[in-house]
Amino acid sequence: MKSILYIMALEIANFIEDKTWNEWSIRLRILEKYNFRKNYYPGGMDEHTEIVKMFTKQRRDSVKMVAKDRKNIVSDYSKMTYGEKQQYYTRSKEISHFDNNIWYYVRNKTIQSYIENVVLLEKVRLDIILETMMPRVQLEKDENQMVEFIKKMDDLNLKEENIEKKHNVIRKSKRIQEKRVTV
C-alpha cells in the first residue's frame, strides 16, 4: 500500500518529493537560527521575513516540480535499482554540499542566487533520475496493463461459459424431459 502524506493540500506521494520537502525544511530551520537572524536584527527583520517567505514558496514549488513527474518515478526507495540509488545519492550529496555555502550567500546578500542554484541542482537530479527510471517504470506499467487485460478476458470467457451452462441445464424431472422430446 502506497503511503501518501498531505501537507497543507500538497500531496507528497514518493520518497523524492519527501526528500525535497525535507531539504527545504532544513534550510528554513537554518533561517530561523539565532546566528542567521542576528544578521538582520533589528532593522532588517522585514528582509528576513521576505527571505523566509521566498524559501517557503520555493519549497512548495520544488515539490510541485517533482510531483509533475510522479507517474515516471517509483514510489519507494527500495524499488530503485543499484545504479539509480547511486545516481540519486550522488546528486543529493551535491545539493547537501552546496547547502554548506548558505552563509556565504547570506553575508553577500545574494540569497536569490542561492535559491536559483539549489533549484538548478534539484532539476539536474530529477532529470537524471527520470532518464534512468522512466523506461523501467513505463515497461512495468505496460506489463501491468497487459496482466489486467488478460484477467478481463478470462473473466469474460468464464461469464460466457456460465451462460452456456445455464442454457444447457439437464432436468431431473422425467415429465419435463418427455414434454421437450415430444414437442
CA dihedral over 131, 77, 82, 24, signed as positive or negative: positive
Average confidence (pLDDT) over 39-66: 85
The pLDDT-based confidence of 1 (bands split at 50, 70, 90) is very low
> How does pLDDT run across 2-37, given as a tens digit for each residue?
556 556 567 776 778 888 888 888 888 888 888 778
> How does pLDDT run across 89-145, given as a tens digit for each residue?
888 898 888 888 888 887 788 888 888 999 999 999 888 888 887 777 677 776 777
pTM: predicted TM-score of the whole model, two decimal places: 0.65
Cell numbers representing residue 40 in the block: 538582520
Secondary structure, 3-state, the chain: CCCCEEECCEEECCHHHHHHHHHHHHHHHHHCCHHHHCCCCCCCHHHHHHHHHHHHHHHHHHHHHHHHCHHHCCCCHHHCCHHHHHHHHHHHHHHHHHHCCHHHHHHCCCHHHHHHHHHHHHHHHHHHHHHHHHHHHHHHHHHHHHHHHHHHHHHHHHHHHHHHHHHCCCCCCHHHHHHHHHC
The pLDDT-based confidence of 180 (bands split at 50, 70, 90) is low
Average confidence (pLDDT) over 77-92: 83
